[in-house]
């Protein structure tokens, strides 16, 4: 089988630039579950009477041989590979190399970031056109029935494509769908019941799979429905917004809002996979594009200074939807999120740091009205408030304050809360935040050089009061 595979690979037509000697295949990958006969290492030589360009090759059983971003070679080429296996690497900040932003745009093969949770680990597939690669979804579907949960905005754009990806060459699969109203204000129990109604009417059993097709609201609601239906069924995330692709679809936080607070009802429940098709961002409104960048900026501030500096250089390219810049930002954000989740799945400490600006931001969303401001807009204003408080405590210098304000303004995000927010509104809403423990409000604040933060309740309450007074009415 391997011999036949390589023959097919060599018959690919290929584009080359100038001749040069290269060694490749360091990123060759076979899914060991689908291609167990692959050897651990291979070594081969290729001769050719004319230059060829390497195309990606999908094996009959799901293994993938990815091409390099760009290659060139002469009539004789040596190729070697080691460790032909599924890579499962925990990507911490020290492993996030400063690679060029165009590293993924020319290849149809997805970049894969693994969320390492032992026997509940799962891949995040990132790339353009992934909804056209049916095998990526189908390998993670359990049972013969699927329920796609989406909303009124996304359904006309991507529901048919998703159903086709699930059923292509798979006639025994039945796909049902439920289309929910769009918006944060519908992230509630009444709307959630529509998912359960459809699942029960369709007689979905415990072998069924739920698929979340949409942004963060859909992902959170579908995940919570999957966690609750028959006490837990398989589910898959297909995020279609920047916000959901870089943050909410990864890590298993699911839930709904209560009128007294955001995301107060929910569960930790991990998906089988996350499929990030960056082409879905082509239809994303500009306001939602900017909103998602608030979460991207967050990763740089709390743990990845190099990434923040890259953002400062590329924020206009991200707003302009440059494919290379977006692909790199999504990948690096997912690597940061995956590393944190793998170490602290249920937010006992480290994972809470991902909520920089969220305590203030959630108060804005709750007090101003769900959906009036987008989540990222509220988080952006909340981040400025958290940075201001960090400075008042003497934990950061004024250069970080200035850089945070500057990049958020360049990203077209608000840096102050709505005028209607008062100090008393902030305090009453923050008192029921999920991070309150034994009556003590804990906050994520920056401390030290850029890229460092703390999750703590040990701070001067006067600094908090001063920040609230500076950004809202008394």
Tell whether 433 and 310 lie within a shared domain: yes
* CA separation for the pair 467, 370 (Å, rounded): 23
Tell whether 97 and 114 lie within a shared domain: no
Tell whether 349 and 459 lie within a shared domain: yes
Token pair belonging to 432:
């029921």
Going by C-alpha positions, the residue among 206, 184, 207, 179 that lies closest to residue 195 is 179
Question: How far is CA 117 from each of CA 195, 264, 359, rounded to the nearest angstrom?
Answer: 28, 24, 27
Query: Helix, strand, or coil here: 320?
Result: coil
Q: How many domains does the chain have?
A: 3
**What pLDDT score does 453 carry?**
97
Where on the phi/psi map is residue 432: left (φ > 0), alpha (ψ -120 to 50), or beta?
alpha
> Are the C-beta atoms of residues 317 and 406 closer than 8 Å to each other?
no
Q: 244 lies in which domain range?
A: 105-284
Tell whether 57 and 197 lie within a shared domain: no
Going by C-alpha positions, the residue among 261, 215, 288 that lies closest to residue 362 is 261
**What pLDDT score does 29 carry?**
40
Which residues does residue 127 pair with via DSSP β-bridges, in sequence order? 277
Angle, helices 189-201 vs 216-228, to 10°: value is 60
Q: Are strands 436-437 and 440-441 parallel, antiparallel or unpaired?
A: antiparallel
Angle, helices 286-303 vs 305-319, to 10°: value is 170
**What pLDDT score does 25 carry?**
34
**What pLDDT score does 347 carry?**
87
Query: In the 8-state DSSP scheme, what is residue 473?
Result: B
**What pLDDT score does 203 carry?**
97
* CA separation for the pair 284, 80 (Å, rounded): 42
Tell whether 430 and 465 lie within a shared domain: yes
Active site residues per annotation? 231, 253, 295, 337, 347, 351, 355, 358, 362, 375
Token pair belonging to 415:
């840096």
pLDDT in tens, the chain (474 residues): 444 444 433 333 333 333 333 333 333 343 444 333 333 333 333 333 333 333 333 333 333 334 333 333 333 333 333 232 333 434 443 333 344 444 334 447 899 999 999 999 999 999 999 999 999 999 999 999 999 999 999 999 999 999 999 999 998 999 999 999 999 999 999 999 999 999 999 999 999 999 999 999 999 999 999 999 999 999 999 999 999 999 999 999 999 999 988 899 999 999 999 999 999 999 999 999 999 999 999 999 999 999 999 999 999 999 999 999 999 999 999 999 999 999 999 988 899 999 999 999 999 999 988 889 999 999 999 999 999 999 999 999 999 999 999 999 999 999 999 999 999 999 999 998 888 887 899 999 999 999 999 999 999 999 999 999 999 987
Instruction: Report pTM.
Output: 0.76
Tell whether 168 and 271 lie within a shared domain: yes
Q: Are strands 440-441 and 253-258 parallel, antiparallel or unpaired?
A: unpaired
- Domain end, chosen from 261, 284, 307, is at 284
Tell whether 272 and 401 lie within a shared domain: no
Question: How far is CA 114 from each of CA 251, 289, 332, 398, 417, rounded to the nearest angstrom?
Answer: 11, 25, 12, 37, 36
Tell whether 350 and 402 lie within a shared domain: yes
**What pLDDT score does 1 carry?**
42
Q: What is the CATH number of the domain that holds 399?
A: 1.20.1090.10
Going by C-alpha positions, the residue among 107, 147, 155 that lies closest to residue 128 is 107
- Domain end, chosen from 59, 78, 102, is at 102
What's the maximum distance between 2 C-alpha atoms anywhere in the chain?
79
**What pLDDT score does 473 carry?**
83
Tell whether 184 and 270 lie within a shared domain: yes
Helix (H) / strand (E) containing 455: strand 453-456
CB atoms within 10 A of CB 90: 13
Q: Exposed, middle or buried: residue 97 (CB in 10 Å: 0-12, 13-18, 19+)?
A: exposed
């Amino acid at each position: 089988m391997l011999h036949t595979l390589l023959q097919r690979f060599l018959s690919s037509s290929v584009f080359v630039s100038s001749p040069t000697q290269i060694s490749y295949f360091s990123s060759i990958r076979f899914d060991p579950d689908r291609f167990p006969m692959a050897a651990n290492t291979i070594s081969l030589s290729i001769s050719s009477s004319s230059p060829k360009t390497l195309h990606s090759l999908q094996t009959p059983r799901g293994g993938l041989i990815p091409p390099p971003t760009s290659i060139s070679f002469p009539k004789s080429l040596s190729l070697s590979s080691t460790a032909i296996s599924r890579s499962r690497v925990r990507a911490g900040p020290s492993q996030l190399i400063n690679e060029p932003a165009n590293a993924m745009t020319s290849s149809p093969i997805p970049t894969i970031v693994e969320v390492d949770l032992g026997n509940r680990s799962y891949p995040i597939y990132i790339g353009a056109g992934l909804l056209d690669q049916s095998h990526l979804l189908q390998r993670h579907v359990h049972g013969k029935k699927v329920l796609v949960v989406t909303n009124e905005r996304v359904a006309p754009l991507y529901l048919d494509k998703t159903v086709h990806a699930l059923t292509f060459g798979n006639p025994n699969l039945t796909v049902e769908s439920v289309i929910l109203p769009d918006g944060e204000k519908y992230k509630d129990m009444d709307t959630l019941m529509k998912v359960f109604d459809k699942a029960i009417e369709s007689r979905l059993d415990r072998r069924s799979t739920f698929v979340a097709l949409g942004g963060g609201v859909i992902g959170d609601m579908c995940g919570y429905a999957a966690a609750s239906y028959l006490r837990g069924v398989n589910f898959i995330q297909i995020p279609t917004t920047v916000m959901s692709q870089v943050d909410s679809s990864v890590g298993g936080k699911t839930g709904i809002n209560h009128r007294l607070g955001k995301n107060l009802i929910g569960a930790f429940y991990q998906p089988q996979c996350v499929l990030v098709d960056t082409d879905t961002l082509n239809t994303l409104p500009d306001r939602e594009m900017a909103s998602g960048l608030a979460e991207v900026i967050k990763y740089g501030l709390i743990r990845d200074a190099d990434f923040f500096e890259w953002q400062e250089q590329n924020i206009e390219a991200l707003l302009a939807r440059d494919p290379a810049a977006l692909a790199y930002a999504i990948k690096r954000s997912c690597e940061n999120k995956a590393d944190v989740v793998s170490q602290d799945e249920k937010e006992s400490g480290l994972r809470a740091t991902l909520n920089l600006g969220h305590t203030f931001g959630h108060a804005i969303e709750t007090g101003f009205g769900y959906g009036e401001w987008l989540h990222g807009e509220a988080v952006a204003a909340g981040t400025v408030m958290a940075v201001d408080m960090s400075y008042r405590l003497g934990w950061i210098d004024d250069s970080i304050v200035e850089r945070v304000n500057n990049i958020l303004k360049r990203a077209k995000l608000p840096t102050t809360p709505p005028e209607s927010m008062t100090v008393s509104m902030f305090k009453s809403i923050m008192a029921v935040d999920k991070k309150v423990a034994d009556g003590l409000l804990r906050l994520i604040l920056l401390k030290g050089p850029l890229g460092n933060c703390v999750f703590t309740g040990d701070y001067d309450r006067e600094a908090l009061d001063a920040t609230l007074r500076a950004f809202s009415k008394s």
